[in-house]
Amino acid sequence: MHKFRNAGPFIRSDTGTIAHFLRRFSGYHRYMNYVTPPFAAPDREHSVTASELVRQFGVWQNRAMRAPVYIFNRGHPRFVLAAVELIEELCAPYREAQDGTHLAPLLDALPEIVVLLDDKHCITATSAAARSYFGAGARIGNPVEAIEASIARGFLEAAVRRVAATGLIDTIELPSPSYLGRALAVMIAPQPFGIALIARDATVADELRIAEAEALALDDALGAARGIADVRINLRGYLERPSPALVHLTALTREALASVRFVTLLDISSRVAAGNAIEAVIADGTPRAVSADLLVNREAPVPIRIGFAALRIGPAVEAVRALIATETRAG
């Protein structure tokens, strides 16, 4: 059973930028009122002073049916008299934009999970990432409950109502409706057109912490076992983040190991075979193993067995992992 809780601050550079973008974009029309250059002076047929308008309202009303009439006060245009049909036509695009649908093309360019809601808390626009994550639940017109997991039904809706009532940004953590055992951190932000939901997979952060802890524990275990070391080699053949176990094996400092090519740690007779194995792993991704002699600071070389494997991030090989173990050779 998931424990629903307030997830605390959810301000990352990417999501913070999205929220800022939404605030800026939603205020675009108000902003334009200040930056639009003054209009050209209207002709005399469609210009009238306030006092003249009062005296001959019927005349100017008829002219306003054909084109807007500018009402001047102290030599400056202050108001416009126009037909209702014209005002409705001019305001229609702005009204349509208030539900957030004008952001749909821009949302699809974002990698984040973004869902926009109207004032009735129904979905009006989603990012491509949101549609991929929530599936049919993210269809336009669906209530916000459609993107909630069944065991958390009503929890997100209650949070949305709270944000709409207070106008304050909130962040909650929910079980994922799409992936069992995973959680979503959802930032809920009020907008002029309704509510914006910006979500991320909260489980990733937990998994990263666990992976880092496991890597540190593995380094400690290899160091304690002695005679074994785990090594990461970049595509140029240099060591990356030398482990304490490798420091112990070679009797070199971490600083010294961080600036050398891996094959230079081996006896000259072993370097060609090890270099060829590394290049082959990078080329085809197939694991390989070689025997070699490891140079040890101020001591005799130590016979070792090295296993090489490709480290893939996506389809490409990003680095090579090597496991070094001392071995005993006959004779």
Phi, psi of 319 (to 5 degrees): -165, 180
Return the beta strands (E) in 9-75 as ranges: 47-49, 69-73
Residue 297 lies in a domain: yes
Q: What is the pLDDT of residue 17?
A: 52
Domain tally, the chain? 3
87: left (phi over 0), alpha (psi -120 to 50) or beta: alpha
By C-alpha distance, which of 245, 241, 253, 248 is closest to 219? 245
- Same domain, residue pair 238 and 257: yes
pLDDT digits (tens, 9 = 90+) for 56-102: 988 888 888 888 889 888 888 888 888 888 887 776 665 555 555 56
Q: What is the pLDDT of residue 206?
A: 80
Residue 210 lies in a domain: no
Model-level pTM? 0.48
Which residues, in sequence order, are CB contacts of 184 under 8 Å at separation 6+? 113, 173, 174, 175, 176, 199, 200, 201, 202
Q: What is the pLDDT of residue 214?
A: 86
Q: What is the pLDDT of residue 20?
A: 54
Q: What is the pLDDT of residue 303?
A: 94
Domain ends where: 47, 79, 96?
A: 96
155, 175 Cβ separation under 8 angstroms: no
Phi, psi of 122 (to 5 degrees): -105, 150
Q: What is the pLDDT of residue 295?
A: 94
C-alpha–C-alpha distance, residues 121 and 141, integer Å: 9
- Same domain, residue pair 179 and 254: no
- Same domain, residue pair 182 and 42: no
Q: What CATH number does residue 63 fall under?
A: 3.40.1620.10
- Same domain, residue pair 139 and 173: yes
User: Alpha-carbon torsion 316, 218, 2, 187, what sign?
Assistant: negative
- Same domain, residue pair 189 and 248: no
Q: What is the pLDDT of residue 45?
A: 82
Low-confidence ranges of the chain (pLDDT < 70): 1-42, 91-104, 330-331
Q: What CATH number does residue 318 fall under?
A: 3.30.450.20
pLDDT digits (tens, 9 = 90+) for 104-154: 677 888 888 999 999 899 999 899 999 999 999 999 999 999 998 877 788
Domain span at residue 23 reads: 5-29+98-205
Domain ends where: 70, 96, 122?
A: 96
Q: What is the pLDDT of residue 282?
A: 94
Question: Which residues are registered as beta bridge partners of 5?
Answer: 173
- Same domain, residue pair 89 and 105: no
Q: What is the pLDDT of residue 23?
A: 53
267, 293 Cβ separation under 8 angstroms: yes
Tokens at residue 40, please?
Answer: 């050209």
Residue 218 lies in a domain: no
71, 60 Cβ separation under 8 angstroms: no
Which residues, in sequence order, are CB contacts of 203 under 8 Å at separation 6+? 176, 181, 182, 183
Crossing angle of the two packed helices 13-26 and 28-35, in degrees rounded to 10: 60
Residue 215 lies in a domain: no
Burial (CB count <10 Å: 0-12, 13-18, 19+), residue 303? middle
